[in-house]
Structure 1
C-alpha cells in the first residue's frame, strides 16, 4: 500500500489525485500512517508558499539537521522533525512550555488563527510570563512564541488530517490489493464526469487492465470485473435506462442470447426498443454474437420484424418445428452478407453512443507520427506552465461555432486523445485557416498557447472547502490534419531492408512508388547484412517524396510493417522543447 502511495500511483486515492499532491508524494515517499497525516496537512497553500514543506522534507531525508526550539519541545515536535505542522502542537507547546490549561491553549490557537493584534498582544504577554514562571529564559520564550505565531497561521488540525489519511489509506489499500475491483467501482462512481472517466481509463491501461465494451450476455448495469479485465456496463450506453437494462438481464437468466433475432424475441419490448438496440450494436454489446457491427445494424429491422411475427404467433398458439424447444413459427432471418465497417467508422459509432472510444482510438495508428511531432498527452499538459506554447494531437469533438463582437466566426472544440480532453479556442484568423480540419473527423495536430483558468470545483486541497481548480485550455495558432503535420515535419524517410529478404522486383517497385508520391522528404535506403554493419544509401533528389498515408501503405506492401521510419527535419526548436510544425 505504501509503495503504491510513494510512487504516486494515486488515481482514485482520496485527497491524493492532484498533480501537485502526486509530486509531493514522490518526494516524501510516505512509509507510515503518521507520514500520510503529515502529507495531507502540508499540502496546502500556506505551508507550500512558506517553505515549511521544503524544510520538512530536508529534515526527514537527513539533508538538514533536526533542530528544536528548546529541548523541552522535542517530545511534541519529534514526529514532524522539529517543524510545527499541526494546531494541536501549538496547544501542547503552550501547555508544556508556558503552563497553559487546555482551554486557554485552545483560545491561543484561535487567536493565532484569526491574527487579531490586540488578542495576540495579550496572549504573547501571558505566554512569556508563563514560560518565565516555569524557569525558561525570556528571550527563548519570545523566540518560541514568534515561531508559534508564524506556523500557527498555516497549522492544520491533526485530527482532521488523520481522518483524511484514514480514507486515503483505505482507498490505497483497496487499489493495491484489489486493483480491478477498485477501478471498476471507481469507473462506475465517476461515470458522469467525462474528464475523470478518461483519467480512470488511462490508469487502467497503465496497470495493464483491459477495459472491454459492454456485452448483452455478460454485462450488468455498472462496470464489472471479468477474467479479461473490466467490462463496460450496459447502463453506460446512451439511452439505456434502468428498465431497459433490467429487462435484458432478466431475460438473460433463461440462458445467453444466441443471435440478434433471439435477443429481439426475448428482450425486445417497449423498454428495449429499436433505438436502444441500435446503440448497443454500435457500442459493441453484440460482438460476442457477431463481430461485424455493420451486419448487425443492417439486419436489425429484419430481426425485429421476425420477432414481432413469432411473438404474435406464440400468443395465438401457433408453433412450428423450426427451432428445437422454442417452437418458433418460422426460422430466424440471416444477417446480411456485407463488408464490416472500417476502424474509423466503427470507432466513431462507438464514441457516439458511449462518449468514449473503447475498442481502440483513432490515434492508435499514428503513434510514430506523435513521436515525430513531439506532441504532449493530456495529462502531461497539467505539468506545463501557463502561457507556454505546446503541441498536441487528437480528435475534435463538440465543435461550437460562434461569432465575435465584430461578427467574425470562430470556434471552440474539445481535443481528445487516449488519455483525456482539453478545450481549444480558434479565434477568427486561425479558424479561417483551419475550419476544414476543425469540423472534420480525422485526427489533427494543434499548436498553441496554454492557458490555465480558474474553475469552481470541489475541495482543491485538504480543508479547503469549495476551492478552485485550474482548468487548462489551448489558444490555437495552428490546427491541421495530423497527416499534413507529418508531411510538414518529416525531413527524411529511411527504408530498412535486409539483404536477401527482398524479391528481385522489390526495388524497382519501390522506385515506382517514390515517383508516384513526389514531395520534399529525402529517402534513404538502409541495407542490413547479417553479422555486418548497416549501409546507408542516399537516394537521388529526383526521388524526394511526400509521406502520405497512401505512400506509407504502398511501401509497407513491399517492405513489410515496421520497415519505414520517418525522421524530423532540422528546424528551430519552439518553447515546448520540441519543434513546431509549419
Structure 2
C-alpha cells in the first residue's frame, strides 16, 4: 500500500522527473491519499496549478519551496499561514532573480525570510543552528526523525528506463551512458518503506495538518497606484481629465445640445462604474504608458477589444475611436452588474513594444512590474526526435518519420492512428520503446518563455504576492502563468506588438523623408471612395485583415464603401458567421429587409437584417426584454457559452417583459430563439471597428503612396520569396519603377522614393548584411571607392569580397552602374580575381599602373540574364523575354507553369528547354526527360520513346517553343507528358 511521500519531484524541475501534475493527482486518488506534498528546487512554477487541481479533487495540497544544496542535502520550507507563504515567495524570488548558485548564499537568503510562520524540513543539521526563529515543533531535522527523504522521479520501477532516457537528454549523452552513470532507484516506495521509516506517515500527516495552502483566494486586488499631481485622489484626477478632454472635443467638432447631453450622461455613467469598482488607477496607468509611447514616436493602435467601447478610454486618448459615433457599448467592456477586471489591450508597433515595457519597469520599479511566464511544452515532433537522438537512430529514418508527423498537431494516439507509416514503425520491435518514450515526453515543460503581451503592475512588492524570477532583459517575470494571476489579485495588462503598426510607421517615415510631409493618421479622410474602390476591386494585398483569398472575395462582393463595411466583413468572415455572408450580400444589394418585429429595425438595419455583433444581441435584449445593458451582457455571455441553466432563468422574464412592449408570446419566443443562435456567432463590434481603421489606413497609403507602401511591406517580408515576388509584380501596376540592387546603393532594406523602388543588396542570394555594412565602412573611409571598378576592387578586399559574393553581385546586375552588364561581369570573373589577387599580394604596387579593364565585353543574352534574376533573387524583376513571346502568341492560349492542374490534357506551354536527359527504356528505345522553363517556373516533362523518335532532331537546348502536353501528378509533384511541338519560336 502506497502513502504520501515528502520529496516527489514533478516535471517543473525541467527534465528531472517523469511525473506530471495530473498523473500525480490520479496516483493519489487511486490510492486514496488525503494530502500531497510538492516542492520544486528553488522555483514554484507548478505550485498554483498543483494547488488548484488538488482542491478540485478534494486532496489537501502541501506546498512550499525546496532548496537543494547538492544531490543529498536539501531544505524544504513550508508556510503555516499567509505570512509564511509570502516568506517562501520571497525566498524563491531572491534565489531566481539573482541566480544564486553558492550554498552559503542560499542559506543566507533562507535565513533572511524564514520565521515563526514557517515549517522547515531538512537533513542539514547545521541549518538549525543558524536559524532560531522557526519554532521547535515546526522544525523537522531528518537526521533525528524518520521521514523518507529520497527524491521520487517516477512511480514504478519499470519507468526507470524512461527516466534514464530523460537523463540522457538533459545531459546530452547516450542512453547507454546514462545507464552507466545513473544507477539509483527513484521510484515511488511501496509499504515496505514503513519498516525503515515507521513514523513517516504520522509525521507527514502532522505537517500536512499544519500547513497553509490558500494561495489562490483573492481577497484584494494588487494593482499599481498612479502618482497624481499634488496627491489628488485618483478618481478625482481621472474625472477632471475626462471632462476637460470632452470640453475640448466639443470645441473642435459640431454637436447639437442634445448630443452634448448624451456625451455627458455617458461619461457620468462610465465614471460612476469606474469609481465603484476602484479602477481609476488602472485607466491612469494605461494612459500614462500610451502617452509615453506617442511622445517617443512609437505608433499606438486605435484600440483593441472591448475597451474601444469606453468613452473614458477615448477621452484619455487611450483609444482613438468615438464609441458613441459608432454605437459601441461600455457594458461590453466593464459590467456594473457583474464586476469583472478591466481589460484594456493596447497595440504598439512590434519593433518598439519592448520600450514601453522597459518604461514601466523603470517607472514603477523592479519588484512592482513583471512580464508573465509561459512554459514551452514538448510536442510530438520534438519528443520523437529527442527520443531517437539518445538511441542514435540514423537521421535519414528520423527525418522520414518527423516529416510524416509534421502534418499533424494533435495528441499522441491521434497522430499515430492518422499515419500508416508511423503506426507501422511504432509496432515494430526496433522502434516500440522510442514511441513509448515519445508519449511519455509529450506535454512536459522543457523551459520557460515569456508571454507575448502580458504585464502585471502592482502597488505592493510582487515577491509578497507571487514568486518571481529574472526575465528577458533583466525585467522581473512571474513564476505563475497567466491562468492563475487573477486569482492572486493581479491584473494582466496586454501590451501587444502589432507588425502592421510597424509597417504604417515605416510608410509614414518614408513619406516624410521623400515629400517632407508629416502625416497624422487621425487626420486621414475616412470616407475617401477612391480608397474603397481599390478594396472593392480586390486590391487587398498587404492590407491588414483583408488579404486572404477568401476575405478578398468577400470584400469584393460586399462592395465595401465605409469603415463599417470593413468591420462587418471582418466580423462575418469567421467560422460560424460565414454561413450568413451570402444572405448579407443579397440583403445589401436588394435592400429588401424583413424583421421578426419592427422594433428590431433600428438595431439591425445597419447590418441589413443580419445579427453581426454581440452588441446587437445586447441591444435586442435591452429593447425587447427591458433588461439593463449590464444584465443583457451577462445573458449574452451565457448564450455564447450555451449555459442552459443560466439562460432558462431569464427566458421567461424576457418573454414576459416583451409582452409589456406589445410583442406577442409567440413572437418574443421566436426572437429569443433567434438571438440565442447568433449570440454564439456574434463578434465584438468595438474590436471590429477599431481594427478596421488599421485596414483602411493601409489601403489609403497603398492608393496614394504605393512605392512607400510596398517598400515597407517588402522590408517586413525579407527572405520570403513568394511575398516578395507578389509585391514586386503588383508594384508594376502602379507605375512604380523597380531599381535593381546596385553596388553604389549600400542599403540593407528596400527604399521607396516617389515612383521608384530601390532594392537592397541584401535581397541577393549570397550577400549578407555584414558584407554590405563592411562596404559602407569602406565607402566612408575612401570617398573614391565608387569612382571606377579599379578603386572598387582595390578597396573591397577589406570588405570581404570573395568569388562567391562577386558571382552573386555580377549576376544581379549590381555592377551595371560601372557600365558593364551582368553577362559581361560574369564572363570576366576569372580575370577580375586575377586582378584582385595581384593587388592583394603586392600592396606597394601602384594601383594606377594596374588599371582594371574587362578582357572581353559579351553581347547581352536576355534569356540568360532572366535566368540570373531567377537564380539570384528567387523571382524575376524585369519582364522575362518569354512574357513577350507569350503575348505575341496569345492565339495559342498558353498556360503558366505555376497554374497547371494535374489530370488536364492538351495544354499549350510557351517557354524554353533548359535541360535534356536521354535514357533507354525497357525496350531499349531512346526516350527523354526535359526541363521546360517559362517566366513562372520550371516543369519536368517526359518524352516517351515513340514521340522522341519523331522529334529528336527538333529538340534543341536553350531554344524557345510552343509545345502541347498532358499534365499529371507524379511523386506528389506536378509534371508533364510531351504530346507534340506546336511551333518552334525563332
Determine if contact 1:219/1:231 at 8 Å carries over to the other structure. no
Does residue 350 (structure 1) correspond to residue 869 (structure 2)? The answer is: yes
State how far apart, in whole Å, the 2-side matches of 1:156 and 1:439 are: 61
In the other structure, the counterpart of 2:809 is 280
Structural mapping, 1:313-392, within 5 Å: 314=843, 316=844, 320=846, 328-368=847-887, 371-377=890-896, 391=907
In the other structure, the counterpart of 2:615 is 88
In the other structure, the counterpart of 1:39 is 569
Quote how far apart the aligned CAs of 1:189 are. Answer: 1.7
Distance 1:438 1:176, change over 3 A: farther
In the other structure, the counterpart of 1:515 is none
Give deviations 1:92-144, integer Å, cap 9, x for gaps.
Answer: 21122212344443343334334465555555334323423554321221121
Give deviations 1:146-185, integer Å, cap 9, x for gaps.
Answer: 2213333432222232233122112111111211111122
Determine if contact 2:639/2:647 at 8 Å carries over to the other structure. yes
Structural mapping, 1:113-192, within 5 Å: 113-115=640-642, 121-192=648-719
- Report the secondary structure of 1:330's partner residue: helix
Give deviations 1:33-66, integer Å, cap 9, x for gaps.
Answer: 11111121122343333xx2233223333x2323
Give deviations 1:356-409, integer Å, cap 9, x for gaps.
Answer: 22233252242246623324458978xx9x98779474779999x9xxxxxxxx
Does residue 262 (structure 1) correspond to residue 781 (structure 2)? The answer is: no
Determine if contact 1:210/1:230 at 8 Å carries over to the other structure. yes
Distance 1:378 1:21, change over 3 A: farther
- Report the secondary structure of 1:44's partner residue: coil
Determine if contact 2:708/2:754 at 8 Å carries over to the other structure. no
In the other structure, the counterpart of 1:194 is 721
State how far apart, in whole Å, the 2-side matches of 1:120 and 1:97 are: 16
Does residue 4 (structure 1) correspond to residue 4 (structure 2)? The answer is: no
State how far apart, in whole Å, the 1-side matches of 2:578 and 2:945 are: 41
In the other structure, the counterpart of 2:977 is 478
| TM-score, structure 1 normalization | 0.64
Give deviations 1:394-448, integer Å, cap 9, x for gaps.
Answer: 779999x9xxxxxxxxx99999865x66x9798x9989989x9999877786766
Distance 1:124 1:445, change over 3 A: farther
In the other structure, the counterpart of 1:213 is 740
State how far apart, in whole Å, the 1-side matches of 2:831 and 2:939 are: 43
Give deviations 1:548-581, integer Å, cap 9, x for gaps.
Answer: 224xxxxxxxxxxxxxxxxxxxxxxxxxxxxxxx
Quote how far apart the aligned CAs of 1:262 are. Answer: 2.3
Distance 1:442 1:429, change over 3 A: closer
State how far apart, in whole Å, the 2-side matches of 1:47 and 1:239 are: 47
Quote how far apart the aligned CAs of 1:9 are. Answer: 1.5
State how far apart, in whole Å, the 1-side matches of 2:630 and 2:857 are: 82
Quote how far apart the aligned CAs of 1:80 are. Answer: 1.0
Matched positions, count? 436
Determine if contact 1:447/1:476 at 8 Å carries over to the other structure. no
Moved more, 280-289 or 240-249: 240-249
Determine if contact 1:211/1:230 at 8 Å carries over to the other structure. yes
Quote how far apart the aligned CAs of 1:215 are. Answer: 0.7
Determine if contact 1:261/1:332 at 8 Å carries over to the other structure. yes
In the other structure, the counterpart of 1:53 is 581
Distance 1:398 1:306, change over 3 A: closer
Quote how far apart the aligned CAs of 1:245 are. Answer: 0.9
Determine if contact 1:40/1:164 at 8 Å carries over to the other structure. no
RMSD: 4.1
State how far apart, in whole Å, the 2-side matches of 1:255 and 1:264 are: 12
- Report the secondary structure of 1:89's partner residue: helix
Does residue 108 (structure 1) correspond to residue 638 (structure 2)? The answer is: no
- Report the secondary structure of 1:336's partner residue: coil
Structure 2 unaligned blocks of 5 or more: 1-530, 918-927
State how far apart, in whole Å, the 1-side matches of 2:797 and 2:604 are: 68
- Report the secondary structure of 1:156's partner residue: coil
Structural mapping, 1:222-237, within 5 Å: 222-226=749-753, 229-237=756-764
Which is greater in Rg? 2
In the other structure, the counterpart of 2:226 is none
State how far apart, in whole Å, the 2-side matches of 1:278 and 1:372 are: 40
State how far apart, in whole Å, the 1-side matches of 2:548 and 2:965 are: 25
Determine if contact 1:88/1:158 at 8 Å carries over to the other structure. yes
Determine if contact 1:180/1:229 at 8 Å carries over to the other structure. yes
Give deviations 1:262-311, integer Å, cap 9, x for gaps.
Answer: 22112233633221011100011111213332332343443344345446
Distance 1:187 1:230, change over 3 A: same
- Report the secondary structure of 2:555's partner residue: helix
Quote how far apart the aligned CAs of 1:86 are. Answer: 0.9
- Report the secondary structure of 2:752's partner residue: strand
In the other structure, the counterpart of 1:64 is 591
Determine if contact 1:448/1:475 at 8 Å carries over to the other structure. no
Determine if contact 1:376/1:390 at 8 Å carries over to the other structure. no
Determine if contact 1:98/1:127 at 8 Å carries over to the other structure. yes
Determine if contact 2:828/2:856 at 8 Å carries over to the other structure. no
State how far apart, in whole Å, the 1-side matches of 2:929 and 2:689 are: 43
Determine if contact 2:932/2:940 at 8 Å carries over to the other structure. no
In the other structure, the counterpart of 2:33 is none
State how far apart, in whole Å, the 1-side matches of 2:581 and 2:666 are: 27
State how far apart, in whole Å, the 2-side matches of 1:446 and 1:19 are: 31
- Report the secondary structure of 1:486's partner residue: strand
State how far apart, in whole Å, the 1-side matches of 2:909 and 2:726 are: 17
Structure 1 unaligned blocks of 5 or more: 321-327, 402-410, 452-472, 488-547, 551-582
Does residue 251 (structure 1) correspond to residue 781 (structure 2)? The answer is: no
In the other structure, the counterpart of 2:127 is none
State how far apart, in whole Å, the 2-side matches of 1:12 and 1:390 are: 36
Does residue 291 (structure 1) correspond to residue 291 (structure 2)? The answer is: no
State how far apart, in whole Å, the 1-side matches of 2:913 and 2:665 are: 68
Determine if contact 1:7/1:26 at 8 Å carries over to the other structure. yes
Give deviations 1:291-332, integer Å, cap 9, x for gaps.
Answer: 332332343443344345446655x4x6x4xxxxxxx35231
1:238 alignment partner, one of 748, 765, 783: 765
State how far apart, in whole Å, the 2-side matches of 1:88 and 1:389 are: 53
Quote how far apart the aligned CAs of 1:7 are. Answer: 2.0
Determine if contact 1:213/1:232 at 8 Å carries over to the other structure. yes
- Report the secondary structure of 1:56's partner residue: helix
State how far apart, in whole Å, the 2-side matches of 1:238 and 1:263 are: 21
In the other structure, the counterpart of 1:28 is 558
Distance 1:279 1:447, change over 3 A: same
State how far apart, in whole Å, the 2-side matches of 1:113 and 1:232 are: 50
State how far apart, in whole Å, the 1-side matches of 2:945 and 2:755 are: 44
State how far apart, in whole Å, the 1-side matches of 2:614 and 2:956 are: 55
